[in-house]
Amino acid sequence: MKTNGHWLISVGELSGDLLGADLVRALKKEYPLIKFSGITGPALASEGVCSIANIDELNVMGVAEVLKKLASISILKNSILEYVDRYQIRVAILVDSAGFHLKLAEELKMRGVFVIQYVAPKLWAWGEGRMPQLRENVDLLLATFPFEESFFKKNGINCHYVGCPIVNRTDAVQKHQNTSDRPLFALLPGSRFQEVNRLLRPMLSIAKQLKQILPHAEFVVPIAGSLQDEKHRKWFASHKEEGVRFVEQNSLEVMASADAALVASGTATLECALVKTPLAVIYSMNPLSYYIAKKNVRVKWASLVNILRSKLVVQEFIQDFDHLTVAKELASLVTDTSKRSSMLAEFDQLHKDLKSPAASNAVAYIHSALEMTPYVSN
């Protein structure tokens, strides 16, 4: 296989950017002369990946929200394809963000590109209607949860479980014990402004209710790197509340320093569990998006923690929830020692289930697949 080519890597959000950066770092050891370009965030940019576009142009969630941005998403896709044509790219790594990437994969396959999808689309959660699209347009699927390999292989997909890369990141973060007599709660409303705008206000309301139960409680909100500009700093400043600190700090470090956390449903719920901080989960979305999700989602739980443990480990409060009820749940995570210990034991087992050198495993599968694909080197 050609070792001095030009590869595409595309990510759609900050969590994918971190995964992509880990993978590029590992790939450079195997293919030191490969050039990488694509849709990037700060982590991929720091690895020297040439940015065709920034994740901010793609960072959108929900059916209704995506509909509003269809034109700009289409323009973005076309600019990526023009770049692929111009530089005759023959390998593409698409990280997570299946809604955009499965459509992009279809166009890439028409151009003879070898397509790798890193992080499996959650077809096990929201139906198998896209399975033919995945089967026809993705050459190699790298799964990050143990049960996914058999699920996709049964459907004729070349899928391999490589391990959960989130574990390596969370293992690198030291758990800090709060020595203060004031319980510290982390509030994590997400990394996209769209979800932060929807979830921060209810989180602050829940914090007020929690202060009634635990008067000495303190709260910290990490501001995602994508929101650390002057415009967003002013927006956060306008939401200042007594006892709540907004910090431009790594969210993993904030989770690790907290006694408990309230987390928006998504990758952060798993991260929080893996740094061994008890949590509760909330989420809210556009009513149309929620209606469509309710009709199509087939899994019992929203959070990855509960899905991966196949049981209710952390409480979930989705769409319409009573703020006082959430506050009471958070209070119990620091006052009920039996409940706290039981949850932490589940987190320990989750860590054991997922521990694996994901990036190096992924490189091995990529290398093996490309060795058996002569057209890539043409």
Q: What is the pLDDT of residues 251-285, one digit of tens each?
A: 999 999 999 999 998 889 999 999 999 999 998 87
CA nearest 146: which of 298, 352, 343, 369? 352
Is residue 85 in some structural domain?
Answer: yes
Q: Is 95 exposed, middle or buried (0-12, 13-18, 19+ CB in 10 A)?
A: buried
Per cent of the chain over pLDDT 90 is 65
Beta-carbon contacts of residue 159 (< 8 Å; ≥ 6 apart): 120, 141, 142, 143, 148, 149, 151, 152, 153
Is residue 137 in some structural domain?
Answer: yes
pLDDT of residue 358: 87
Is residue 261 in some structural domain?
Answer: yes
- In this prediction, residues 133-157 reach a mean pLDDT of 95
pLDDT of residue 19: 92
Instruction: Give the Cα separation of 260 and 330 in Å (integer).
Output: 7
Q: What are phi and psi of 357, to 5 degrees?
A: -75, 80
CATH of the domain at 70: 3.40.50.2000
Instruction: Give the Cα separation of 162 and 149 in Å (integer).
Output: 9
Confidence check: pLDDT of 72 > 50? yes
Q: Does residue 14 or residue 108 have the better pLDDT? A: 108
* pLDDT single digits (tens) 207-225: 999 999 999 999 999 998 7
Is residue 168 in some structural domain?
Answer: no
Q: What is residue 154's DSSP assignment?
A: T
- In this prediction, residues 303-307 reach a mean pLDDT of 94
Instruction: Give the Cα separation of 104 and 84 in Å (integer).
Output: 11
Least confident of 20-24, 117-121, 189-193, 224-228: 224-228
Is residue 262 in some structural domain?
Answer: yes
Are 33 and 129 part of one and the same domain? yes
Domain that holds residue 276: 184-354
Per cent of the chain over pLDDT 70 is 91
Q: What is residue 107's DSSP assignment?
A: H
Is residue 104 in some structural domain?
Answer: yes
Instruction: Give the Cα separation of 8 and 113 in Å (integer).
Output: 10
Averaged pLDDT of the chain: 89
Are 61 and 85 part of one and the same domain? yes
- In this prediction, residues 48-68 reach a mean pLDDT of 68
What 77-85 contacts at long range (C-beta under 8 Å, 24+ apart), as own/partner pairs, is 77/103, 77/104, 77/107, 79/52, 79/53, 80/8, 80/10, 80/38, 80/39, 80/52, 80/53, 80/104, 81/107, 81/108, 81/111, 83/8, 83/37, 83/52, 84/8, 84/108, 84/111, 84/113, 85/111
pLDDT of residue 60: 47
Please report which residue ranges of 165-303 form alpha helices under DSSP H: 165-171, 193-213, 230-237, 251-257, 267-274, 287-296
pLDDT of residue 26: 94
Q: Cβ–Cβ contacts within 10 Å for residue 299, how many?
A: 11
pLDDT of residue 65: 47
Is residue 170 in some structural domain?
Answer: no
- In this prediction, residues 130-149 reach a mean pLDDT of 94
Banded model confidence at residue 158, pLDDT cuts 50, 70, 90: very high
Confidence check: pLDDT of 71 > 80? no
pLDDT of residue 57: 67
* pLDDT single digits (tens) 178-208: 778 899 999 999 888 888 999 999 999 999 9
pLDDT of residue 88: 94
Classify 326 as helix, strand or coil.
helix
Is residue 1 in some structural domain?
Answer: no
Q: Does residue 251 or residue 376 have the better pLDDT? A: 251
